[in-house]
Copies of this chain bind each other. A is one copy, B any other.
């Protein structure tokens, strides 16, 4: 009889760990959790009703972080093993109960998507196999699978012909991209490649990878190198230029227009200025699905500029990339096919669990710029994926992308994506028609921004001069922050909040609610209820006091 975990059952205690003996340790590797044990029960509960589990087990009302920290305050590795059942009780009460129901239809504040049911058993297969994708010797069939997934993404973006994929998909000396834990490492990888490619080996110079950035600048005669992106660029790009030794001052933010898109005139002008100052333009980064606004940059024109100045053109499509799966909307990303590299996250709009990002490269030789080898694995000429990745050991997450592509299919994704965009537009018009909200960004994809501003104050803003607008916006910012925190604390629904420059207020940064619509279970009714809740929050004393202050300015 195989029994491992059970609650407070003396007869079964001998089967549990709770004392460190070789025999007990051997058991945790060989004796399964019984289905009727505490942990087995939770496992079945999730399998039978994921949404029910999340809804019932996560408490809605926010517990203070300080209080939660009390349960995670011991800094010693426990000496004595704990019964699995006791630990499970702890996890359910102290961890699960106070985690975030990111799959709730009303949780529309971040790029968190719910998971299709099939992800659960497939994730179990992945965990059970525990492959390490760094090398074929610990991953075997997972290696061609990952290369195929990267090829599918490449095809989605670049639509090369069959001969191209036949030649490159499984070619040991080529790589169509690399898997990453997420969009940040994907962006870092793209810029790492761009940097090494720009300042590569020539003549007697062995290349930046060997000689370092200072020697490379000296050799190529640049004063510095720069990366250009709009002011809406994701913060990972700042991290990338820091990590890569380029420096944050060399990540140059270009102004945006009324639609949050990069100002092409200013981009061209800045390129010219940099060239005059002998600063090499390493890369231009286009945004396809801005983190805060969901907008898409004019990729085609940016690619032309990048070509003119000889820069690598990277597109950060971590969010928006999957839009290419929709025939209805893929034209929004027009020009992405000219990118030298593209970041796409699978744990966002591909509905895969956390930990799956990708960067693909148009030219399958380009990742050679960051190739590395070792003696015990990743030997030159091998097909080990670790040769081209910033990470070393990695799980087989590509399997879940592969599964989603097959089980949902392109036509399935199209429906999901179209729905999300339709919903965003419907919500935008709901906000726009509401007298107490100001729509800040009209959604190009499925992200939008707005804030609470009663009609009379909207009028004040429209008619006011810059200084008056500044004073009003400063107070409205306080309201936005208050309301967002109160809504989060109430735990029924969640929008996030951000702050960015507003074209219509002369570039003044303003705090706004941020909404990301990617949950198929979010209905128009959910969205309506979010506005209703916010109207109620606005009635609270604190907010009313600030409104009175604003009105007193008249």
Contacts and interface: CB of A to CB of B under 8 A. Distances in A.
A129 B145 CA distance: 26
A45 to B, nearest CB: 10
B72 A121 contact: no
Interface stretch (A263-271, A412-420, A450-458): A412-420
Contact of A372 (B73, B76, B238): B238
Contact of A192 (B138, B243, B500): B243
A353 to B, nearest CB: 5
Given A124-B120, A165-B75, A409-B20, A393 B131 contact: no
A96 B129 contact: yes
A214 B223 CA distance: 9
A140 B68 CA distance: 9
Given A141-B94, A353-B395, A102 B124 contact: no
A357 to B, nearest CB: 8
A128 B138 contact: no
Contacts of A396: 354
Contacts of A103: 130
Given A144-B71, A213-B214, A412 B20 contact: yes
B395 A53 contact: no
A367 interface: no
A376 B136 contact: no
A52 to B, nearest CB: 10
A258 interface: no
Interface in A174-231: 181-185, 188, 192, 195-196, 206, 208-215, 217, 224
A130 B116 contact: no
A334 to B, nearest CB: 19
Contact residues on A (Cβ < 8 Å of other chain), bracket: 35 or more
A130 B118 contact: no
Contact of A122 (B35, B39, B170, B488): B39
12 contacts: A21-B415, A32-B117, A69-B169, A72-B148, A75-B155, A76-B152, A120-B127, A127-B353, A183-B393, A192-B242, A235-B374, A236-B392
Contact of A137 (B137, B403, B488): B488
A152 B215 CA distance: 41
Interface string A48-86: 111101100010000001001101111111111110100
Contacts of A238: 372
A98 interface: yes
A51 B77 contact: no
Interface string A378-422: 100001000000111111100100010111111111111001000
